[in-house]
Structure 1
Amino acid sequence: MEIAIHNETTLAIAYDAGLVKVPAAEYFSVEYWQERQAMTGQAQGRGSAWFIEAPFGPVVLRHYLRGGWAAKISRRTYLFTKVTRSRPFREFHILAALYEQGLPVPQPVAALCEFHGLVATGAILTARIPDTRTLADVIAAPGIGSAAETGLWARIGDCVRRFHEAGLWHADLNARNILLDAAAAVFLIDFDRARLMPGKTVNGKSNLNRLRRSLEKLWPPDRLNGLAPAWDQLEAGYHGR
């Protein structure tokens, strides 16, 4: 990656100069891509994500949103201190570090921080991993508890462990932030508010507990007996058993 920073009076863009030749704030606008008929879809998570066919390749655009009581004041603005501490810049650099280590994450393309006084808005563009579906989608499909899925859960556990060994704590590890491609390779996405501590192995208990709660919430009630063995396989993969 060739990480570069583009600065203007009230905005900054971090980007991979090997992909984006001329960074522009318009690249982070949903309307900009709609006008060019470049939107190919949308996904739902904590916030919306839009799939775009950009000149620099297929990408996912995500805007940073706030939840809880703060969202009643403003859904998109958040407290601003400095560009390097902004949510989009922090996630961009965490993704870049993980990507360059060979961990299964989407390649960061560009991140935007727009600031006005003490508030800011932001967005991020990441390369789209082809032919993927979320673990939540897999859970909803028939046969999730079958023997055919046995290796899947161990691979998910192994994948999560690799991130923890790299010093990464994920702020929202749930079934919608785990992707599986056509070959059933496992990827993690959405590193907003994540923490990367190189040289440290993260205690992953809180991450695993959050993932377990997510699975319990999404698992089909008529197939609930498949959850416990699936989780046992995930834990075995996580602990290298």
Structure 2
Amino acid sequence: MVLRINSVTCNLLATTSFLYCAYGLFVEDENNEYAISLYKVGTEYGMRALKVNNSKFRKAMEDGMLVPDAAKYLTKDDMKALTWAGLNLAKRCTLQLDRMELITDLQDAVALIKRSIEFDPKYAWGAPWMAMGIVYAVIPPYCDLGGGAEPSRNAFASGNKARNGEFGVCDMFAARYLATLLKDERWYDELNNRVIEMDPCKLDGGQCVVNELAKQKARYNMEHKERWF
């Protein structure tokens, strides 16, 4: 009975983490600080879910182990929580790149996202790969986290393959982060226009809202192109 209650609680917490991430993506273009606060709360819900669901991970964290080391205790049963905790944390860090003290948080995010990819590289429409594409695009290649244009390109490509190119958020963020890093205006336009013109309901049998969000953000990209070029 206790295990069942913990499972339900974990699922609710992980779902809440996902919702905060989705809302953060929705508002970040117009209200950066609010999005940061949403991603922070989303991370907290995801981490709470992991501690409820996985006693070994909880014990490791209570003993002062760092997340990259404690991640080895996470299992496939933790997929939902670790994925959205990682994505929330990664997105928050990419919006606060001027704060060098957040490098530890970024290391935590990468550890969680890589663990998710290890268990299922196609999970959440390939969103973990997409997150790695963003991270690699915004950190320099000489960082220990392995950033740079080529790792970013490979990560976005892997995310795209997860749903045969139907996950529009992946292309939209590839335009926002990688195409701008490369100063490739033509590719930027191609990626955004592809998302704008795509059928949003081809994703996983009708998850239209995810791609509708991508379409909205792709339009924003095109309307505010001068911000990045």
| TM-score in terms of structure 2 length | 0.29
Higher relative contact order (CA 8 A, sep 6+): 1
More helix by share: 2
Higher Cα Rg: structure 1 or 2?
A: 1
